[in-house]
Amino acid sequence: MSEQINEIVYLGGEVAKSLGIARSSLTKYCIALENKDYKFIRGSNNSRAFRSKDILLLQRMKDLVQDKSMTMETAVNVVLSMLSEEERTGTVLEENKVIPQENQSEEQKENNQLSVLMDKLEYIEEISDRLNSMEKELKDIKTQNKILQDQNEELKTNVETSSNKRDENLLSLIREVQDTKKMIAAAQEKKWWEFWKS
């Protein structure tokens, strides 16, 4: 069912150029997203039309694949995990509602650029928040690691002390046994000579 959309949309060639990727790469990204039930706006001839949020999503995906060396599937899962179910669904546009960028007024182009910029700023803020959260988690992990190291050192010291005491006690016991054996041997030897004297 067609519905009226007043949002500016872009064609694939424009999007690929703005992302700095080949058109074939853009198609691969789109197919990977669609395989996970993400919906792009479709024109009446079934061609994809891209909204600002689609472009931002594709930019995030490109960054993860190219800069972070993620697999396509992992990148898709990451970018889609940031979206609600409603944001994953698209619509079919009437062909005359798709406004190619070259037919936009200067004001529309500026508004669109501003919208894309705002989306990028939101994305940067989101990444910054995540980095701050990860930094806090890392500090917590380092603190826990330090506590564990201290406990390990204390345990090691206790084991060494216990081991040294055990060794000292064992040596003392061995000496006592040896002294006792000498005393028994001396007593038995004395009795042996006394036996011959009688």
Domains and CATH numbers, the chain: 12-104 (1.10.1660)
Q: Best-predicted range by mean pLDDT among 3-17, 123-137, 153-167?
A: 153-167
Distance CA 34, CA 166 (A): 69
Element (H, E) at 160: helix 106-197
pLDDT of amino acid 140: 92
List, in sequence order, every residue forming a beta bridge with 10; answer none if it has no partner: 50
Distance CA 132, CA 124 (A): 12
Indicate the pTM of the whole model: 0.44
CB 44 within 8 A of CB 3: no
Digit-coded pLDDT (tens) for 60-69: 999 888 888 8
Digit-coded pLDDT (tens) for 152-185: 999 999 999 998 999 999 999 999 999 998 888 7
Higher pLDDT among residues 52 and 100, named by residue = 52
Half-sphere exposure of 139 (CA within 13 A, CB side): 5
179: tokens are 């002294």
38: tokens are 């993400």
Half-sphere exposure of 189 (CA within 13 A, CB side): 6
Task: Decide if pLDDT at 146 tops 90.
Answer: yes
What is the pLDDT averaged over residues 75-99?
63
pLDDT of amino acid 80: 87
Buried b vs exposed e over 108-120: b needs ≥16 C-beta within 10 Å?
Answer: eeeebeebbeebe
Task: Decide if pLDDT at 76 tops 80.
Answer: yes
User: By mean pLDDT, which of 12-16, 80-84, 131-135, 151-155 is the weakest?
Assistant: 80-84
